[in-house]
Chain A
Amino acid sequence: MLDRLKQYIVEVCCVYALLSVAGAVINQIWGYETNNINVIVMFVLCLIGTFVLYLHKLFDRFSPLFMIIVQYLAACGLSALFIWIMSLFFGPVSAYNWFEFWRSFTIPYVILAALYYWRVFSEAKKQDKLIREIQDRSRESI
């Protein structure tokens, strides 16, 4: 349990560091500015997103496509809940900001899911080739 927690924390740190750097680069290029609340929100979203993705072992029985969809809905729902709670303290969130939240969450998720999809197919192709090679070599060696 402790090992899992340690691994989870390490993964959160990696994800947060990557997003921070990517955010800083985008802000620098486009001239955006951020504030402390945004930083905290981004960190909590990292915690939620990493936690939901971390549960992938629970979906071993199901297809990866099902897992991706369920994890997307869960992560999106929990993040929206968190933003709604934040809005109770820091003022309402406009419809445009909700749309922005959905878009900034969905686009990277879809890109990563597509990459995962491509990786599954390319790995299977490589393994199929490897099996063919092993079978051929075995036939030749007899």
Chain B
Amino acid sequence: MRLNLYEDKKNTDERVDIYYTNMRPVIKQLIDTVNSERPSLKGRPADEDEDDGEEILLDPKDIYYLDHIDRKLFAYTRNGVFRLMNTLASCEDMLWNYGFVRVSKSNLINIFKIKQLKPDLNMKVYASFDNGERICINRSYKKSFNEYLQRMRRMS
């Protein structure tokens, strides 16, 4: 995608024009950014106490997956694990455009971070990430996971 930037000190009407062939996730992300609706996920390092740690702004692109354990939500990135104050359902609504899909009651995974999707001998299907971790894709979510992939392919 080509990016043109024009600086005009006299311009009083700042604007962004997007020319696109189809409305795909990356275009929607640009629109979110322009409209200041880009999802902001603030997290504290999981190994620190709830109120002590400094809040860090997380980029959805850096997150491998979200895990809901004991009513707490954690985001797993290359740099560590962060505790989020959002709910899993709100993250699902907010991040579907960024490649996040629900694969079990407690997990949202980022399909752009998946290294391989492979079933085990016991027939459980796992999504492996490049950080070496893997998440099981629950059978109940298999259909919606497949529909999500089809939709993302159509949009991309």
Number of contacting residues on B, CB 8 A?
A: 29
Q: Are A138 and B117 in contact (CB under 8 A)?
A: no
Q: Could you say which residues of chain B place their CB within 8 Å of the CB of A60?
A: 138-140
Residues on B lying within 8 angstroms of A by beta carbon are 1, 24-26, 99, 111-112, 114, 116-125, 138-140, 142, 145-146, 149-150, 152-153, 156
Interface string of A104-142 (1 = CB under 8 A from B): 000000000000110011011001101101110110011
Cβ of B144 to closest chain A Cβ, rounded Å = 12
Interface size class, chain A: 20 to 34
Cβ of A114 to closest chain B Cβ, rounded Å = 11
Q: Could you say which residues of chain B place their CB within 8 Å of the CB of A133?
A: 153
Complex Cα spacing A56 to B140, Å = 10
A94 at interface, CB cutoff 8 A: no
Q: Are A63 and B1 in contact (CB under 8 A)?
A: no
Chain B interface mostly: mixed
Q: Given contacts A130-B149, A131-B149, is CB(A137)–CB(B156) below 8 Å?
A: yes
Chain A interface mostly: helix
Interface string of A47-61 (1 = CB under 8 A from B): 000000000110010
Q: List 16 A-B contacts (CB under 8 A).
A: A60-B139, A66-B122, A116-B123, A121-B119, A127-B117, A128-B117, A128-B118, A131-B117, A131-B149, A134-B152, A134-B156, A138-B26, A138-B112, A138-B156, A141-B26, A142-B26
Q: Are B145 and A127 in contact (CB under 8 A)?
A: yes
Q: Given contacts A134-B152, A141-B26, is CB(A128)–CB(B116) below 8 Å?
A: yes
Complex Cα spacing A141 to B26, Å = 8
Across chains A and B, which 7 residue pairs bring their CB atoms closest together, nearest first?
Answer: A64-B123, A63-B122, A128-B117, A137-B156, A65-B122, A124-B119, A130-B149
Complex Cα spacing A128 to B139, Å = 16
Q: Are A134 and B122 in contact (CB under 8 A)?
A: no
**Smallest Cβ-Cβ distance to B122: which chain A residue:** A63
